[in-house]
Amino acid sequence: KTLFKESITTPITKSYDVGSQLGTGKFSVVKSAIEKSTGKSWALKMMKKSVVHEQNIVKEVEIMMEVKNPNIIALHEIYESDSEIILVLELVTGGELFDKIVEKESYTEEDASKLINTLTKVIYYLHNKDIVHCDLKPENLLYSDNSTNAVIKLCDFGLSQRCPSGTTLQSMVGTFTYMSPEINNGYGYGKPADMWALGVIIYILLCGYPPFDETTGYNLEFPSPDWDHISDTAKGLIKALLNVDAVKRLTAAQTLKNVWVSGVSTGKESII
């Protein structure tokens, strides 16, 4: 009576040497581990069944089994006992984008644009499969390693949902800073909510602080002097992603065509 037919029910310590803690989230502890048979390193995302709703674990695992993308953390195996689920995940060692932002304070436009190009392609990949991530934020974006060629990988499908175009989701999820108005107002939401979060991430990358908080509402500003040197192309893109009207907000496909994101100017594009 396991949640998944793929679940392995022997104790994880039989096959893995469990190491130190890599991170924590709302519902999990993540530790490094070495697979005894191969000597390979992995990350173990450990979740207590008493804390995480069964339905949510099922959604997270089913979606992780469906996605295969070089910029998404891969799922290797699932261990399950009566009290716990352990996801054996591809290990990355470069840390959270969150910590990089704190360290650097802000990214150059060129570095931010390259990162956002990759992230937009990942969102496009998910949305094309009718998957909405619902928790896009710098804590869930991990660097593969500490080198200058490190790539970004999206993790944490704990709030992800299936949402075909034309349908909407209702439950309130996410973190306020990255949550779109339609979620906060209790309206139905879907793929555009991820695009809003992308807009918030770009804003933070370029200045080091978030555009909105609970007290200010959704009044988008680019305060001086922090934003004086930032291009109008970047600001135009942010405005188009942080459009409070979800219907008018840029989609992932449209965002990929934006010059700031594609890095290619045809000389014909409008500012957004």
30 binds, among ligand ADP, Mg ion, none (CB under 5 to 8 A by kind): ligand ADP
Among 61, 63, 64, 73, binds ligand ADP (CB under 6 A): 73
Q: Give counts: helices (H), strands (E), the chain.
A: 8, 9
Q: How far apart are the first and last CA of the chain?
A: 52
CA separation for the pair 118, 153 (Å, rounded): 9
Q: Given the residues 17, 99, 111, 135, select the one marked as catalytic.
A: 135
228 is catalytic: no
91 binds, among Mg ion, ligand ADP, none (CB under 5 to 8 A by kind): ligand ADP
Stretch in the footprint of ligand ADP (CB under 6 A) among 20-28, 62-70, 190-198, 247-255:
20-28
CA separation for the pair 268, 205 (Å, rounded): 27
Q: How many CA atoms lie within 13 A of 227 on its CB side?
A: 18
Do the beta carbons of residue 112 and residue 205 sit within 8 Å?
yes
Q: Is 79 helix (H, G, I), strand (E, B) or coil?
A: strand
- Map the footprint of Mg ion across residues 18-77, applying CB under 5 A: 25
Do the beta carbons of residue 234 and residue 261 sit within 8 Å?
no
Task: Decide: is 95 part of the binding site for Mg ion (CB under 5 A).
Answer: no
Q: Is 31 annotated as a binding residue?
A: no
Q: How far is the CB of 76 from ligand ADP (least distance, A)?
A: 10
Task: Decide: is 173 part of the binding site for ligand ADP (CB under 6 A).
Answer: no
Task: Decide: is 26 part of the binding site for ligand ADP (CB under 6 A).
Answer: yes
Query: Which spans of this chain sit near ligand ADP (rule: CB under 6 A)?
Result: 22-28, 30, 43, 45, 73, 89-92, 96, 139-140, 142, 155-156, 158
